[in-house]
Amino acid sequence: MIIVTGTTISERLAQLEARKKTLLLRLSKQERAIDTRRKVLIGALVLHRLENGDRASSSRPLLEWVQRALPKFLSREGDRELSTIF
């Protein structure tokens, strides 16, 4: 068995695998946070447009699309109930 700076190669490999796992978990968490932030920003834009847009003109097609598409998109009953607020 070869000793490298007080630890064996197999111990060092185990440490590196543990570090890799930790870094992959951190990356996954970071990617989820970015995805969530993107969804929040897009949702905020759509809500802003629906709440502040001129319903008689440019926002009307968006409102109609949301009213048609959202109930089909949502899978949970509680979420579907919220979709009736538009």
Does residue 29 register a pLDDT over 60? Answer: yes
Over residues 51-79, mean pLDDT:
84
Cα 45 from chain centroid (whole Å): 16
pTM of the model: 0.68
Mean pLDDT of the chain: 87
pLDDT band at 35 (very low <50, low <70, confident <90, very high): very high
Over residues 58-79, mean pLDDT:
88
